[in-house]
Structures are given as C-alpha cells and as structure tokens.
Structure 1
Amino acid sequence: MSMTIGDILALEGLGAMRPRAGEHSLHAPVRWYYVAENEGIADWVMGGELVFVTGINHPRDETNLLQLLREGRERGIAGMVVLTGPDFIRAIPPAAIALANTLNIALIEQPYQLKMVIVTELIATALVRRDQLERSRRDMLLQLLTGDYPDVEIIRQRARSQNLDLSLPLRVVAFRLTGAVALFRDLPGEAAEAHLQQARQLASQRLQVLLGQLDNPFPLLVTGQMFIMLLPEPGLSRHKQRLQQWLQEGAEDSREPLALLCGASSAVSDLSHWSNALAEARRALDVAAGLAPRQRLCDYDQLGVIKLLSAVGDRALLADFARDTLGRLIEPARRSPYLLVETLEALIQENGNALRAAERLSIHRNTLHQRLQRIEQQSGHTLDDPQFRLDAAVALLIWRMSQTNLQES
C-alpha cells in the first residue's frame, strides 16, 4: 500500500510529531510533501500532499490557518503539519483543531526543534522506497488481472518476496466514476476536464484511505478508467454494508453529475482465473448505473439472469429481443419518455399486483389502469399473459443494460 500519514509518523526520528486532529485520516496516502510559503495553498497543491506550515515567510494567525484547512480540503491534501514554537506559531488554535476534525483532515503538530531538513529528507527517502515497492506490486498484480504474465510460478515467487499472500480466495472489486457525459455537456471542455481529473484524484485518495481502514495488504490498482481493489474473502461479505454506506456518503459529498459506482466479482482462488474475475467485476460495474443506482454497488454473484445476458456476444440479438417484446415502449422520441416503462417495471416488481404497483409509483389506481391499457396497446401484448411478463422482465433488463452502455460510451 501507499505510504500513509501514520506510516510517516512511525518513521524513526519523527517521534516528536503528534496528531492533534483528524486521527481517522491517518490512513490517508501521502503523494509528496509541500512547505507552504504563501498566504494560501490552493494554487500550489494538486492533491495528496502533506502540507507543512511554518509561519516563517508569512504570518499565520487563526484566520489564516482556518483558510489553509479549507483550501486543503478543497484541493484534497493528505494532511497538514503545523510547526509550533516561541518565535512564529506558538500553538495550534482550538478553532483550527475543531475545523480539522470537522473536515476530517489529519492535523499534526511538529516542534520547531525538529529541523525541517531532517523531516523532509526522511519523508522523501521513505516515499521513494515505498513507491518503488508499490510499482513492482502493481505491475505483478496487473499482469495477473490482464492475463499477461510469462509464468504463474514466477508470479508466486515475486509475491512471496514482497510478502503478498496470493493463496487465499479473493474478490476483484472495480470502481468507476460515472457521469462524465453529462459533465462535458454542462461545462466548457477545459473546466469539465479539470473537474474530472480533480474528482479522479479525490476518488483515488478516498479509496486509498478505505484500503487502509480495511487493513488490506493489496495496493489500489488503476487500469483505464477503473480503480481496482483486491479483497481477500470473506472481506467483501463482511464489509459490503460498510462499503455501500461509504459509496453513498461519497456521492453526497461529490459534485453532480459524477458518482463513484462499484462492481464486485465472484470469489477466485486460481491465479489463472484472475482475468475472468476482472471481467466479472467489469460486467457488474457496467450494469450498476442502470440497475442499482441507489445501491451503487453491484455484486456479480447476485446478478442472476443478468450473468447470462452479459455473456451473450451478439448484442444485436439482445436488442432485437427487447425491441420485439417492448415495442414502442422503448422508443426514445416519446412525449413522456419511459413513463410507461417505469410503470411496467413496477407491475413486474409487484408480481402483477396493480394495487401495490400504484402505491409503489405513488399514483391513483385509475391512473395506473390507464397506463396499463396504453402499455398493452403499444407493446402488442396482454399483461395477463405470464409469458409476456417473463419476457418483459428480461427485455427490461436488456434495455437498462444498453442504456447504461449508451450513456457512458
């Protein structure tokens, strides 16, 4: 895993540094360090930095420290170190400690007697060493996930030399930011790109923190637009509710329309099957937006018939089935797009019970019956036919999957 603030505080020679706030964020990964010499830091950090505030080149009163914390939160810094002593910043103000706790930023106190040249040299050396180890681990794990490796036994030897246990079954858990299409539609190109990259940086940091909280030995992997975790079993089962809550909290904090979604593979034990597990996680991720937008997490083991649908290579065959079954219901150029589709879905979810379907949709029974008549007219089928309801359930899944792919392509 990447070096965290907690790892840095544990380095020999840095024992005098102590956390004052945001101790839950000591798992935050540190990309590099930055010594703040200007009034603000927003224009000088990119995310992931451990920011040192000395007060030597610029006076640091309570107002300025609060400003730095807010800017640090906005830019996604790993944490902040404030040097205290009789000459510049005598003590960290209580208001700064309270704000750091509110913003969940690790706030560290460093006495001036501990020389900055020693601190920065120790941190830089440790970061470079950890980065070299992480690069080697990521390279090895990505080879397994892509199936591009010379020999399994060589992989096992490399893993043992790096204290990674690959013998236990694990799940491949993939994350992706969705909503980029809407982002570039609503904002100018440069602004949308800047926002997207900042969101990816923040997502990476949050995932790194989550890995540390789960005490996971595997590093976070990135391939294309996906972030990938490897969770040893029964890790996903044990942490699924917590992961779901974490995704929901992140959605509330993030700017619309971007949202982080998650897809998990079934458990895999054989190293030669890791690439299959990645494909499963990708399939679960692809249907998460359309089929479980409120849950944000899609488990491949719970996809049911979608496993079969996602494995069909001929996408045109699926599209034809959905179109033949649903008819004009899924035509995009409608006065009320997808209103009848949602009504049909509600009826199927309630096993054909019209009263409960009306309650689910929060509409009057008469309104529901009017819509059901239109569904029968436009689909060419009767809702009393159980075969049609079965076909419609499958066709709606196919349509939702195709809509997800269309929106994110």
Structure 2
Amino acid sequence: MSLTVLNVLELEGLEPMSLRAGLPNVHKSVRWYYVAENEGIAEWIMGGELVFVTGINHPRDESNLLRLLHEGHEKGIAGMVILTGNDFIKIIPASVISLADTLGIPLVEQPYSLKMVLVTQIIGTALVQHCSMRRSQRDILTQMLTGEYPSLDIARQRAEHLQLVLQAPYRIIAMRLAHIQVLFDTLSPDQAETTLQKASLHVRDFLKQSLIYRKEKMPLIELGELFILLLEDRSEGLQQQKQFLHHLQQSAMAEFSPLILRGGMSSPVHSLTQLSQGLMEARRALDIAQAMPAQSGLCDYAEIGVLKLLSAIHDQNLIFQFMKDIIGVLHEPYRKYPFQLIETLEAVLQENGNLIKAAEHLGIHRNTLYQRVQRIEQQTGQSLNDAQFRLNASIALLIFRRWSHHMPVWMSF
C-alpha cells in the first residue's frame, strides 16, 4: 500500500531516527513531508504529511510543541518528527510524548547530526518510487480485472516484476455508494454534488487506510464509481473477513447520511487469470446487495443461490414479468392489507407446507389460514400441493422481496 511512517523509519540511511510515541499508528500513510517554519502548521498542511519540527526558524518550547500536535491531529498528519540536539530543541518534553500517544500521532526523534537535506532526499525519493510502483500495480491489476490486457504472458511478467503475488487465494470486493438519489432529492444540486464528492474522497482515503492497517498486499482499485478491494483469504476465516467489511462500511459512512456503502464479495480467486471472473461475481453480488435495503449491505456471491441465475438475466423486465405472472393476482389493492395473501403464501412455503406452523408464524388462527390458502388457490388457479407451483412461487417471492422497489411503474402491482 502507501508508504507508511514505519516504512520511512526502515529506509536505509535513516537508522538514527527513533520512534518515541504513537506505536499503534505507525502504519499511517505518508502523503508527503513538510518542514514547519511558522509558529503554527494548521494553515500550511492538508493532511497525511510527515511534519518536521526543527526549532531553527521559530522557537519551539513545550507549549508550542503541544500546540503543533493538536493542530496536526485536527488536520490528520501522518506523524511528526522533532529534531533534537544542543542548539535548539534539546530534548522532547515528556508531556509532548504523552500527548502524541494520547492523540495517536507517531512521534519520531531525529538528531541534528542527521542532516535534513539527506533525510528529505531519501524520503522524497522513496515516495516517488513507491508512488510509481503502486501506479503500475494498479494498472496491471485493472487490466486483469477488466480482461483488457494485450498479452497474458506479458501481464504475468509485469505482475511478477511489480511483486504482485497471487499464490494465496483472494476475494474481490466491489463497493459503491448507494442512496445517491435520496441525497439529490433532499439537497440542492450544488449541495448534493459537493456532499457526494466529499463522500467519495473520504471513502477512497478510508479504504486505503483500512487496507494499510490490515496489511493487505494489493492496492485499492477504482473503476468508475466502483471501489475494488482484493482481500487475502486468510486463515482467520470468512466470518471474520465479513465482520471487517461490515465495520468498514459503517465507519466509512458515519458522517455522510443518507449515503451508504454497499459491497459485493466474490468467490476465492487463485490466479491473475481468474480476476475478471472474480470481479464479475463481485459486481453481481453488489447489484443484489443494492436491491436489498433491509440487508447489512454486503452480499457474498457464493451464498446467493438461484439469484446467480436471475442476476445474469440482462433484461430485468423478464424477471419482473415472471413474478407478476405467478403472484401478481394475489395483490389486492382494494383491501386494507393488499399484500396479505402474498405474505401468507410466503409463510406457508417457508414452513414447507405445514399450515399449523405457518399459522403460528403469522399469528393467526389455523382456520383463518385455511381460508386464505383457499383464496390463494382460487385466484392463482394452482394448488399448493403442486411442486412446480411451489418452485415458481418461491422464485417469484424471492424476486418480490429483492427487486420489487426497482420495478418500472408499468410492472408494479
């Protein structure tokens, strides 16, 4: 992933630098470095910088160093490096080290004997090289994900040269912002667009940071409005992986209601040649996740069953028409509860035809259920004892629950 504070400390030639605080956050991504020359830094940084404090151009007493940490925390700096020696900042005060730990800011001590010109040259070169490497990795991964590579042999050679190793299985996660229409329905066009752009940038940075903390090997890929993650299928298990993704979705969008982040997960892929198939699975799972507003927002392709077939049908009007043909007559708009018979049919099928359990499930008397079943059979012209009708009805109910809110007006009940 991106160059981190820990990576900086491991660069050849920077051995004299030492970490003094903020150990849990040494995997923060370093966007660039900044040498502080003014009393404060808030108006001079954008976030993600490794801030160097020398004390040469401005006195740096204890109170000023504390202020710099607070400002850096508010701006989201990657870390802070304080130069120490006999001439300017002799030692780092204990209160500064304590505050850095409290704020979660990696705090590094650099002796003045290690020349700044050498340090910035080493870090700048590493950042440029790392950025170039990641750009090339994203390029070849994008080609393999989309199937638009000129030669498989060349793609493999490039992947090996760029240290992209797919020996272990990976799961491809496709994510997309949802409820965008709600955003534009509730805000002015300018406000909605600004919020959407901020949310997109936030999600991108959040996902990148999360992949760093998780120590994933593959970079974040962006394809249009999609965010693509390649998560190593580790021994921790699929359930723990899903929990990580659920937490990621909730945390990423905490500040951007009503926008939410939906996700689709592929089956495991084991090689570069399987990436395009994995992306296809992840995108189909994502489409299903977006059609299920009551769900958690993450859909696993391996668990969607018959929806694999339905999601492969490009003309969704065929799907909606099938549903309407099977259970459309059970919609009774003139009644107080227009979907009562549909819900009754669903309960009966869920209980495998056991009418007593179905009545308990619905909280009604069994005689009431018998009457409803008679109406279902009369209006559909089918018997619930017919296995083919039960199969068709089960699929139609699945469509109704998963896609009914996406139906065109002319197909709606």
In the alignment, which residue of structure 2 is the partner of 1:223?
A: 223
Instruction: Please give the alpha-carbon distance, in whole angstroms, between the structure 2 residues aligned to 1:94 and 1:222.
Output: 38
Tell me, yes or no, if the aligned pair for 1:174 and 1:281 is still in contact at 8 Å.
yes
Tell me the TM-score normalised to structure 2 length.
0.75
Displacement of 1:188 after TM fit? 3.1
What per-residue deviation string (whole Å, max 9, x for no partner) do you get for residues 127-181 of structure 1? 1110111111111111111111111111111122222224555432222222322
Distance (whole Å) between structure 2 residues aligned to residue 108 and residue 39 of structure 1: 17
Deviation at 1:274, TM superposition (A): 2.6
Shift of 1:259: 2.6
1:209-268 Cα offsets, whole Å, 9 max, x none, are: 343344432222111111212245x43x74432332223333443132233332122233
Is 2:64 the partner of 1:60?
Answer: yes
Residue 137 of structure 2 is aligned to residue 137 of structure 1: yes
Secondary structure at 1:176 match in 2: strand
Question: What's the CA shift for 1:60?
Answer: 3.0
SS at match of 2:317: helix
Measured after TM superposition, the shift of residue 63 of structure 1 is 6.4
**In the alignment, does 2:339 pair up with 1:307?**
no
CA 1:299–1:355: 2 relative to 1, 3 Å: same
Check 1:306–1:166 CA distance in 2 against 1; reply closer, same or farther (3 A cut): same
Q: 2:395 maps to which residue?
A: 394
8 Å contact kept, 1:175–1:228: yes
Give 1:54 shift. 6.6
Task: Decide whether aligned partners of structure 1 residues 111 and 157 sit closer, same or farther in structure 2, where only a CA change above 3 A counts.
Answer: closer
Q: Are 2:72 and 1:96 equivalent residues in the alignment?
A: no
What amino acid does structure 1 have at the position aligned with 2:202?
L
CA distance in 2, matches of 1:84, 1:270: 47
Q: Let me know the Cα RMSD of the aligned residues.
A: 4.4
Task: Give the 5 Å matches for 1:273-312.
Answer: 273-291=274-292, 294-312=295-313
Q: Which amino acid in 2 is paired with 1:248? A: H
Aligned residue number for residue 124 of structure 2: 124
Call closer, same or farther: CA 1:193–1:377 in 2, change over 3 Å: same
CA contact (8 A) 1:171 1:267 kept: yes
Which residue number corresponds to residue 411 of structure 2? none
CA–CA separation in structure 1 for the residues paired with 2:266 and 2:282: 4
Shift in CA distance, 397/377, structure 1 to aligned 2, threshold 3 Å: closer
Which residue, out of 233, 238, 241, partners 2:239? 241
TM-score by length of 1: 0.76
- Per mean C-alpha deviation after superposition, the further-off stretch among 204-213 and 310-319 is 204-213
Letter paired with 1:304: G
Q: CA deviation at 1:208?
A: 2.6
Mark the CA change 1:65 to 1:357 in structure 2 (over 3 Å): closer, same or farther.
farther
After the TM superposition, which residues 46-195 of structure 1 pair with which residues of structure 2 at under 5 Å, given as runs? 47-51=47-51, 56=58, 60=64, 62=66, 65-66=69-70, 68-69=72-73, 71-72=74-75, 77=76, 79-81=78-80, 83=82, 87=89, 90-93=93-96, 96-97=99-100, 99-100=102-103, 105-111=104-110, 113=112, 117-166=117-166, 169-195=169-195
Partner of 1:218, secondary structure, is: coil
Quick check: 1:319 aligned with 2:320? yes
2:315 and 2:183 mapped to 1: Cα distance?
A: 31
Higher gyration radius (CA): 2
Deviation at 1:307, TM superposition (A): 0.8
Separation of aligned partners in 2, 1:44 and 1:405: 45
For structure 1, which segment, 4-13 or 392-401, has the greater mean C-alpha deviation from structure 2 after superposition? 392-401
CA distance, structure 1, for counterparts of residue 337 and residue 66 of structure 2: 55
Secondary structure at the aligned position of 2:394 is classed as helix
Distance in 2 between residues matched to 1:354 and 1:274, nearest whole Å: 47
Deviates more, 1:255-264 or 1:217-226: 255-264
Q: Percent identity?
A: 38
Q: Partner amino acid for 2:219? A: P
> Distance in 1 between the 2:145 and 2:41 partners?
42
CA distance in 2, matches of 1:332, 1:116: 77
Question: Given that residues 289 and 296 in structure 1 are in contact (C-alpha distance below 8 angstroms), is that contact kept between their aligned partners in structure 2?
Answer: yes
Distance 1:344 1:399, change over 3 A: same
Question: CA offsets per residue over residues 25-76 of structure 1, 9 Å max, x none?
Answer: 333333333456575738952x54445567848963646744542x23xxxx
Q: CA deviation at 1:318?
A: 0.8
Tell me how far apart the structure 2 counterparts of residues 165 and 352 of structure 1 sit (CA, whole Å): 51
Q: 2:25 touches 2:106 (CA, 8 Å); kept in 1?
A: no
Check the 8 A contact 1:340/1:375 in 2, yes or no. no
SS of match in other structure, 2:268:
coil
Measure how far apart 1:205 and its partner are. 3.1
Shift in Å, 1:322: 1.6
Distance 2:83 2:336 in 1: 66
Looking at structure 2, the residues matched to 402 and 180 of structure 1 have their Cα atoms a distance apart, in angstroms, of: 18
Kindly provide the CA deviation profile for residues 304-329 of structure 1, in whole angstroms up to 9, marking residues without a partner as x.
Answer: 11111111233221110122233277
Pick closer, same or farther for the CA change 1:151–1:373 going to 2, 3 Å: same
Q: 1:276 to 1:251 in 2, by over 3 A?
A: closer
Work out whether residues 326 and 379 of structure 1, in 8 Å CA contact, stay in contact via their aligned partners in 2: no
* Contact map agreement 1:28 1:208 (CA 8 A) in 2: no
User: What amino acid maps onto 1:307 in structure 2?
Assistant: K
Assess if the C-alpha contact under 8 Å between 2:5 and 2:106 holds in 1: no
Relative to structure 1, is the Cα distance of residues 122 and 397 closer, same or farther in structure 2, using a 3 angstrom cutoff? farther
| Residue 304 to residue 377, structure 1, CA distance change in 2 (3 Å) | closer
Asked whether the equivalents of residues 66 and 99 of structure 1 are also in contact (C-alpha less than 8 Å), the reply is no
Q: Deviations over 1:355-386 (max 9, x none)?
A: 877887xx8547xx69x959967994489556
Q: In 1, distance between residues paired with 2:239 and 2:12?
A: 38
Q: How many residues align?
A: 392
Letter in 1 for 2:82: L
Query: Deviation string for 1:291-344 (max 9, x for gaps)?
Result: 485443322122111111111233221110122233277899999898987776
Work out the CA distance in 1 between the residues paired with 2:98 and 2:338.
51
Q: Distance in 2 between matches of 1:65 and 1:373?
A: 69
Distance 1:3 1:65, change over 3 A: closer
Q: Structure 2 vs 1, CA of residues 184 and 298 (structure 1 numbering), >3 Å: closer, same or farther?
A: same
